[in-house]
Amino acid sequence: MIERPGRPADEALHVTKRRLLDAGLATFLERGYNATGIQDLLVATSVPKGSFYHHFASKEDFALQVIDRYVAEVQLILDQSLGETERSPLERVRLFFERLLALYASQGYLGSLLGLLGQELAAVSTAFRRRIEEAFDGVVRRLAESLQEARARGDLPSDADPVQTATFMLNTWEGAALRSRLSRTAAPLEAALDATFRGALT
């Protein structure tokens, strides 16, 4: 196969950008946005400052792309969980939250990046507020589709509103994620999951 000119360099740029985004995700989870400096990221990745600004126009642009990278991971978990059609709709919804819990565990129970940055930046940045609201709304829409199916099957009360129920589930989860960050344990998430699904069924 003939190698296209410039392809190795393009791949190296992609790898560099991915390393920066991965480091940004880990650092924002640990420290938040304001306590993270660009220099911290450059040291963590051994990437020159010029390479950073080749990929990102500013720290805000970088953080927004980190959010996009995180949301893509959450959406993948949604796709995988809700796509297991051999399970009941409620089982698929619960599986999504269980897999999120496993993700949080792998990160040391630092919580939800969306919740963390939302608390820190939503009041001061329209761009961050809109991006985070869009991400939450997207998750709610996907969960509501499965909850609608559950209601049609009789697994939820006939008067249950799928969108309101999905919103309640996600809001409860985000609150538990904050408590989990404080305690660095799974206990708040596990308790929220059990209470949420008991409530949904009644």
Instruction: Please count the structural domains in the chain.
Output: 1
The CATH number covering residue 134 comes to: 1.10.357.10
3-state SS, residue 160 = coil
Q: Is residue 117 part of a domain?
A: yes
pLDDT tens string 20-68 = 999 999 999 999 999 999 999 999 999 999 999 999 999 999 999 999 9
pLDDT tens string 187-197 = 999 999 999 98
Domain of residue 136, residue span: 59-201
> Which regions in the chain score pLDDT beneath 70?
1-10, 12-13, 200-202
Q: Is residue 94 part of a domain?
A: yes
> Residue 173 to residues 8, 53, 60, 129, 139: CA-CA distances in angstroms?
43, 35, 26, 19, 12
Q: Is residue 78 part of a domain?
A: yes
Residue 115 is classified by DSSP as H
Q: Is residue 10 part of a domain?
A: no
Task: Give φ, ψ of 114 to 5 degrees.
Answer: -65, -45
Query: Checking phi first, is residue 111 left (phi over 0); if not, alpha (psi -120 to 50) or beta?
Result: left
Q: Is residue 74 part of a domain?
A: yes
Contact, 33 vs 16, CB < 8 A? no
Greatest CA separation for the chain: 63
Alpha-carbon distance of 113 to 65, in angstroms, equals 12
Q: Is residue 7 part of a domain?
A: no
